[in-house]
Amino acid sequence: MLTACLAPDMFPLATQIRFACVQAQEGVFRLRQEPFPASIGLMLDEGRNAAECPGTIADALSAIAATIAIVEGAAAEAPEIDPTTPIAHQLPQGMVFDLTAEQYVRDWALPQFYFHVMAAYAILRAQGVELGKADYVAHMFAYLRPGAPSSS
Q: What number is the average pLDDT over the span 70-96?
A: 89
For residue range 2-56, list pLDDT tens digits in order.
Answer: 999 999 999 999 999 999 999 999 999 999 888 999 999 999 999 999 989 999 9
Per the document, the length of the chain is 152
CATH class label, 13-143: mainly alpha
Burial state string for 50-59 with b = 16 or more CB within 10 A and e = fewer than 16: beeebbeeeb
Q: Where are the domains of the chain?
A: 13-143
Q: What number is the average pLDDT over the span 59-84?
A: 91
Higher per-residue confidence, 77 vs 110: 110
The answer on pLDDT for 78 being more than 80 is no
